[in-house]
Amino acid sequence: MRREVGVLIDRRGRVISVSVADARGTEFPDLRMGENRLSGFHLLHTHPRGGALSKGDLSTLFLKRLDAVSAIEVRGEGQPGLVHTAHLTPPGTVGEEEDWRILPPVPAFQIDEFDLGAQVQALEEEIARAARTRVAKKDHERAILVQIDQGEFDAEDRLDELAELARTAGAEVVHRELVFRRNLKPGTLVGAGKLEELTSRAYHLDADLLIFGQELGAAQAREIEAATGLKIIDRTQLILDIFALHAQGVESRLQVELAQLRYMKPRLLGAGAALSRIGGGGGSAGGGAIGTRGPGETKLELDRRRINDRLSFLEKQLEGVAQRREERRKGRERNAVPVISIVGYTNAGKSTLLNAFTHAAEEPRRVLAENKLFATLRPTSRQGYLEGIGPVVLTDTVGFIRDLPKDLTRAFRSTLEEIGDADVLLHVVDAASPGADTRLDAVNRILEDLGFRDMPTVVALNKADAADPEALDRELERTGGIAVSALKNRGLAELKEALADAVSGVQRAELARQEEARALAAQYR
C-alpha cells in the first residue's frame, strides 16, 4: 500500500484497532488511565519510507501514556526491516530524553527479546512510588499558570496577579508560562504544540492543575482537558472559587452561589442537543417531534431545571436581603450621619485601614484583614470619628479587580450600589505593588460603570512604608493623594483631615441646595 498502517494492541496481545494513518491519526478507544498507571496499549505501526521514530510518534506515546510505541521500517518488497521502539520514563528522570527512552533499533526477528511486560510493570511501579511520595509531601494542588500575551503592556502584571489568585485559592504554583500569541487558536487558545509542552512540564513537576488567565468557553476547556489530561480552570472560575472560600455571611454566600450557578449553567453542554430529550413518550409509537422521542428527561435537562429553580430561589432570597439593607440605610439617613465608603483594588489594605481608623484591635469590632485577595466579601460598617465633623460611618466594601467576571458583577451589583449612598469615597491604593497606576485606573473604570466616578473622593496611597520612594512621589503627584501606612499608623492624621474637609464640602453643598430649594419654594408661594 505504501501507506503507514498502525495496529493498537492491548496487554493480552489482542488487536484493538487497525488504522491506515500515522501515529497521530491512529484510532484510540476512550483512554481512562489512572494517575499512577499507563494506558495498557502498545502502538505498532509501519514507516514505508524508513527512518527512526518521528516527533509525532513520541508525542503520541507521551500524550496517550502508551506502554510503548514501535515503528517498523518497510523494505522494497514489503519485508520488515529494523524496528524502532520507545517507552516512557518515570517523572523526574534526568537525561537527554526526559519524557521517553528510545531503544536501539533491532531486526524484526529480535524484537521478542525485549520483555515489554516486565518493562511496563517496573515503570508503573516507579510512577506509583513517585505519586505516593508526592501525596505524602504536598499539602496543596500543584498548578501551572498560563497567561496569553496579545501585546498588552501589563501582561506580566496579569500573570503575577494570576499567581496571587492561585495562592489565595490554596494552590502551589510550580511554573508560570507567558505565551505570546497575536491570534488565539479557536479550540485550544495556545495551539497543540504548546499544550504538549505544558503537559510534559506538568508530568515532570507533578502538577495536576492548569490555570488559564483568559476566560475559557466550555468547548475550549473540554478540548484542552482532553489534550493534556489535566484539570483545567480559567481565571473566572478561580475567582469564583476564592469567593466561595471566603464567603462568611448569608448574603455573601447567596451571591457567590448565584454567580457560580450562572457561570455553570451555559457549560452544561453534555453531548450537545442530542442528549436534550424532553419529549418523553411510550417508545417508537409515542408522539413528539423527531429527535425528542425517548425515555423522557435526561440528566442534562434535569440539571438545567434544578439550576433554574435554584437561581429563582436565590434571587428571591437576595431581594429580601436587599430590602433589609435598604431599611438600615434609611435609618442612617434619618440620623444624618455622614457615610464614607472605602473602595479600592483587592488586597490594597482597606480592612487594615478601617481597623486603624476605628481603633478596632480586637473582636467583635475588628474587621478581618488578611494578606489575601478578596478577604472581604460583604460591606462591613463601623463607626468612627472625624475632628470637626463628629461621628461618621466607615464602610468597607468588596475589593475590585480588573476584568471582574460578569457573573460576579451582576451578583454583587446590589452590594456595590451601596457605594452610591456614601457622602465621600476613600479610594485606597497599594503603593508598594508594581502597577499601582493601572490598578487605580481599573477601580476608576468600575466606579464609572456604576455611575460613581464623579463622587467626592480622597485617595490614600497605602503601604507607603514599603513603597519605592520615587514611585511613591510620582503617584502622589499624579493622584494628589495622601501617603499612609495603615499597618504602622502613619499619615492617618493627614488622611482624617482630608476626609473631614471632603465631608464638610459635601455638607456645605447640601445646605446650599436646601437653601436654594427653600428660596424657590417661597418664590412660587
In a domain, 306, yes or no: no
In a domain, 146, yes or no: yes
C-alpha cell at 42: 502498545
Residue 344 sits in the same domain as residue 487: yes
User: Counting Cβ atoms within 10 Å, is residue 428 exposed (0-12), middle (13-18) or buried (19+)?
Assistant: buried
Residue 432 sits in the same domain as residue 380: yes
Distance of CA 378 to the CA centre of its chain: 21
In a domain, 252, yes or no: no
Asked if 456 and 423 count as a contact pair (C-beta separation under 8 A), the reply is yes
Cα–Cα distance measured from residue 193 to residue 198, given in angstroms and rounded to the nearest whole number: 9
pLDDT at position 279 is 44
Residue 34 sits in the same domain as residue 124: yes
In a domain, 242, yes or no: no
pLDDT at position 299 is 62
Cα-flanking dihedrals φ and ψ of residue 234, to 5°?
Answer: -110, 180
Cα–Cα distance measured from residue 481 to residue 460, given in angstroms and rounded to the nearest whole number: 5
478-482: long-range contacts, CB 8 A cutoff, minimum separation 24:
478/437, 479/429, 479/440, 481/427, 481/429, 482/458
In a domain, 304, yes or no: no
Residue 14 sits in the same domain as residue 125: yes
How many domains does the chain fold into? Answer: 3
Cα-flanking dihedrals φ and ψ of residue 431, to 5°?
Answer: -75, -15
Residue 58 sits in the same domain as residue 197: no
Cα–Cα distance measured from residue 275 to residue 211, given in angstroms and rounded to the nearest whole number: 29
Residue 115 sits in the same domain as residue 31: yes
pLDDT at position 398 is 74
Residue 65 sits in the same domain as residue 173: no
User: Pick from 78, 111, 135: which residue ends a domain?
Assistant: 135
Looking at residue 395, which CATH number applies to its domain? 3.40.50.300
The CA-based diameter of the chain, rounded to the nearest angstrom, is 114
pLDDT tens, position by position, for the chain (525 residues)?
788 999 999 988 899 999 998 888 888 887 655 555 788 899 999 998 888 898 888 888 888 888 899 999 998 788 899 999 998 887 665 544 567 888 899 998 888 888 888 888 888 887 777 666 655 455 578 899 999 888 777 788 888 888 888 888 888 888 999 988 888 888 888 888 888 888 888 877 778 889 998 888 888 888 888 888 788 888 888 888 887 776 666 777 777 788 888 887 777 654 343 344 444 444 444 444 444 444 444 566 677 778 888 878 887 777 777 676 666 666 655 557 888 888 888 888 888 888 888 765 445 455 555 555 665 556 677 888 888 888 888 888 777 887 777 767 766 666 676 677 788 899 999 888 877 888 888 888 888 887 788 888 999 999 888 888 888 888 888 888 899 988 888 888 899 999 999 989 888 888 888 888 888 888 888
Distance of CA 210 to the CA centre of its chain: 10
Cα within 13 Å of Cα(449), Cβ side: 15
Cα within 13 Å of Cα(33), Cβ side: 22
pLDDT at position 294 is 45
Domain span at 155: 141-233
In a domain, 46, yes or no: yes
Dihedral angle computed from the Cα positions of residues 216, 217, 221 and 222, in that order, rounded to the nearest 10 degrees: 180
Residue 381 sits in the same domain as residue 506: yes
Residue 166 sits in the same domain as residue 222: yes
List the one residue out of 41, 24, 42, 28 whose CA is nearest residue 196.
24
In a domain, 323, yes or no: no
Looking at residue 213, which CATH number applies to its domain? 3.40.50.2300
Residue 37 sits in the same domain as residue 175: no
Cα distances (Å, whole numbers) of residue 477 to 441, 471, 501:
15, 10, 20
ω into 48 cis (within 30 of 0)? no
Residue 125 sits in the same domain as residue 206: no
355-385: burial string, b at 16+ Cβ within 10 Å, e else: bbbbebeeeeeebebeebbbbbbbbbbbebe
Residue 341 sits in the same domain as residue 197: no
pLDDT at position 412 is 65
What single-letter amino acid sits at 477?
A: E
Cα distances (Å, whole numbers) of residue 346 to 343, 423, 504:
9, 22, 29
Asked if 392 and 503 count as a contact pair (C-beta separation under 8 A), the reply is yes
User: Pick from 174, 200, 233: which residue ends a domain?
Assistant: 233
In a domain, 301, yes or no: no
Distance of CA 105 to the CA centre of its chain: 46
C-alpha cell at 382: 463601623
Cα–Cα distance measured from residue 255 to residue 450, given in angstroms and rounded to the nearest whole number: 18
User: Pick from 116, 135, 154: which residue ends a domain?
Assistant: 135
